[in-house]
A and B are shown apart, each in its own frame.
Chain A
Amino acid sequence: METAKPSSPMQGPEKPQLSRVESISPWREAYWQLRKNKLAIVGLCIVLFFIFMAIFAPLLTSHSFSSMNAADRLQGPSAAHWFGTDYSGRDIFSRIVYGARISLMVGFFAVTGAMFFGSLLGIVAGFYGKWIDMIISRIFDIMLAFPSILLAIAIVSVLGPSLQNALIAIAIINIPIFGRLVRSKVISIRQEEYILAAKAQGMKSTRILFHHVLPNSTAPIIVQATLGFGTAILEAAALGFLGLGAQPPTPEWGRMLSDSRQYIQSAPWTVLFPGFSIMLVVLGFNMIGDGLRDALDPKMKS
Chain B
Amino acid sequence: MLSYTIRRLLMLIPVLIGMSLITFSIIHLIPGNPAQTILGEQATPQAIAQLEEQLGLNEPYFVQYGNYMAGLVQGDLGTSLRTRGEISSEIRPYLAATIELTTFAMIFAVVVGVNAGIISAWKQNSLFDYTAMIIALVGVSMPIFWLGLMQQWIFAQELGWLPAFGRGNPRDPVETTTHFYLIDSIINGRLDQWWTSFKHLILPGIALGTIPMAIIARMTRSSMLEVLRHDYIRTIEAKGSRTFTVIYRHGFKNAVIPVLTVVGLQTGTLLGGAILTETIFSWPGIGRYVYEAIGNRDYPVIQSGILVIATMFVLINLVVDLLYSYIDPRIKY
Contact = CB atoms under 8 A, between A and B. Distances in A.
B8 to A, nearest CB: 13
Given A149-B273, A154-B306, A286-B141, A242 B153 contact: no
A154 B302 contact: yes
Interface stretch (B25-33, B105-113, B189-197, B247-255): B25-33
B137 A286 contact: yes
A157 interface: yes
A265 B153 contact: yes
A145 B310 contact: yes
B14 interface: yes
A282 B149 contact: no
Contact of B276 (A238, A265, A268, A272): A238
Interface residues of B, number: 43
A238 B153 contact: no
A150 B153 CA distance: 27
A74 interface: no
Identify the interface centre among B153, B158, B269: most chain A CB within 10 Å of its CB. B153
A264 B147 CA distance: 13
* A-B pairs, 4 with minimum CB distance: A275-B146, A142-B18, A147-B272, A149-B272
A254 interface: yes
B313 interface: yes
Contacts of A234: 141, 143
Given A141-B15, A146-B310, A150-B272, A238 B143 contact: yes
Contact of A145 (B29, B153, B276, B313): B313
B207 interface: no
Contacts of A244: 294
B162 interface: no
A147 B306 CA distance: 9
Interface of B: 14-15, 18-19, 22-23, 26, 29-31, 137-138, 140-143, 145-146, 149-150, 152-153, 157-158, 268-269, 271-273, 275-276, 279-280, 290-291, 294, 299, 302, 306, 309-310, 313-314
24 contacts: A141-B18, A146-B306, A147-B272, A147-B310, A148-B272, A150-B271, A157-B299, A157-B302, A158-B26, A237-B145, A238-B276, A241-B143, A241-B145, A241-B276, A264-B152, A265-B157, A265-B158, A274-B146, A275-B146, A275-B150, A279-B141, A279-B146, A282-B141, A286-B140
Interface of A: 39, 138-139, 141-142, 145-150, 153-154, 157-160, 230, 234, 237-238, 241-242, 244, 254, 257-258, 261, 264-265, 268, 271-272, 274-276, 278-279, 282-283, 286-287, 290
Given A138-B18, A279-B142, A150 B309 contact: yes
B78 to A, nearest CB: 15
Contact of A283 (B141, B291, B294, B306): B141
B143 A147 contact: no
Given A241-B143, A257-B143, A271-B153, 20 more contacts: A138-B14, A139-B18, A141-B18, A146-B306, A148-B268, A148-B272, A150-B310, A153-B291, A158-B26, A158-B30, A237-B145, A238-B143, A238-B276, A242-B279, A254-B143, A257-B149, A271-B149, A274-B146, A275-B149, A283-B138
A275 B280 CA distance: 14
Contacts of A147: 268-269, 271-272, 309-310, 313
Contact of A278 (B143, B279, B290, B291): B143
Contacts of B290: 153
Majority SS at the chain A contact face: helix
Contacts of B29: 158
A153 B149 contact: no
B275 A149 contact: yes
Contacts of B294: 153, 157, 244
A142 B149 contact: no
A271 B157 CA distance: 14
Contacts of B22: 142, 146, 154
A271 B148 CA distance: 11
B140 A142 contact: no
Contacts of B314: 145
A157, A234, A242, A278 — most chain B CB neighbours (10 Å): A157
Given A150-B271, A157-B26, A261 B143 contact: no
Contacts of A153: 275, 290-291, 294, 306
A139 B22 CA distance: 10
A145 B15 contact: yes
Contacts of A282: 141, 143
B137 A271 contact: no
- The CB with the most chain A CB atoms within 10 A, among B18, B23, B146, B306, is that of B146
A238 B145 contact: yes
A187 to B, nearest CB: 19
Nearest to B303: A154
Contacts of B313: 145-147
Contacts of A139: 18
B143 A275 contact: yes
A2 B142 CA distance: 57
Given A139-B18, A268-B153, A154 B275 contact: no
Contacts of A268: 153
Contacts of B271: 147, 150
